[in-house]
Amino acid sequence: MSSFGAVGARLYAWLNRHPETNRTVVDLADPRAGEPVLEVGCGPGVALELAARRAGAEHVAAVDPSETFVAMARKRVPGADVRVAGAEDVPFADGSFAVIYTLASMHHWDDRDAGLATLTAKLAPGGRLLLAERLLDRPGHGITPAQIGDVADRLAAVGQTGVETVERRVGRKTVAVIVSERPLAA
Ligand SMILES: C[S@@+](CC[C@H](N)C(=O)[O-])C[C@H]1O[C@@H](n2cnc3c(N)ncnc32)[C@H](O)[C@@H]1O
């Protein structure tokens, strides 16, 4: 399921040590103290650590299909509930989270629409979903404007409200963050 084996995961963690994009996404997600937070595709846990500083480590959870990344994230954020799973099969109860975010993972999912349906189901009423990817001109390791349109349509189809895309310049790249909310009343 994960395209990252043990060696690939360690290499990724080694090469990605200037995590301004992680900070940008967690700032936008803005988890508050005590809010239950889920990160999807947490990798080595850099953003998870930032989220834990805001919400409290005992309130943050994460999933990643790579056992190596899960081990790294557990070590980085003791107290967080980090599990081996993908976006399509998140092993937490529906309606559990006030904030769910993912960064640079959606383009790896086996089934994007199944992942979107799963994540929106895991949101509590009023919960916020943030889907962050590098903005690209053509399909690749990120997201194009056309793909953003497809994702926005899917989110609307599964009942998300307030769907909008926020762009942030981080160094030489632009990060697109698709933000939406679970309605308060079902
Ligand atoms: C480019 S890394 C990004 C890691 C981290 N979010 C970061 O920004 O440093 C992509 C991540 O997506 C994870 N991934 C792959 N398939 C996935 C899936 N189906 N569901 C959730 N995460 C997945 C990978 O294991 C990896 O941790």
- Which domains are delineated in the chain? 6-181 (3.40.50.150)
Q: What is the pTM of this model?
A: 0.95
Q: For 138-148, how does the pLDDT look when each residue is reduced to its tens digit (9 = 90+)?
A: 999 999 999 99
Using a 6 Å cutoff on CB, does residue 36 contact ligand 1? no
How far apart are alpha carbons 72 and 38 in whole angstroms? 16
pLDDT per residue as tens digits for the range 23-71: 999 999 999 999 999 999 999 999 999 999 999 999 999 999 999 999 9
Instruction: Return the residue whose CA atom lies nearest to atom 10 of ligand 1.
Output: 105
CB-based burial of residue 38 (10 Å sphere; 0-12 exposed, 13-18 middle, 19+ buried)?
buried
In angstroms, what CA-CA distances link 34 with 20, 30, 37, 55, 71?
A: 24, 12, 9, 5, 24
Side-chain half-sphere exposure of 54, counting CA atoms within 13 A: 17
Mean pLDDT of the chain: 95
Dig out the tokens for 39 from the structure: 């990160």
pLDDT digits (tens, 9 = 90+) for 82-94: 999 999 999 999 9
Give nearest CA residue, ligand 1 atom 20. Answer: 86
pLDDT of residue 29: 97
Please check the confidence at residue 186 and state whether its pLDDT lies above 80.
no
Query: CA nearest 159: which of 181, 133, 141?
Result: 181
In the predicted model, is pLDDT for residue 18 greater than 70? no
pLDDT at 1 (0 to 100): 53
Distance of alpha carbon 129 from alpha carbon 40, whole angstroms: 11
CA distance 66 to 8: 10
Q: Whose CA is nearest to atom 22 of ligand 1?
A: 41
| For residue 2, pLDDT beyond 90 | no
Which of 49, 82, 108, 113 for a ligand 1 pocket mutation test, highest count of atoms within 8 Å of Cβ? 108
- Whether residue 16 has its Cβ less than 6 Å from ligand 1: yes
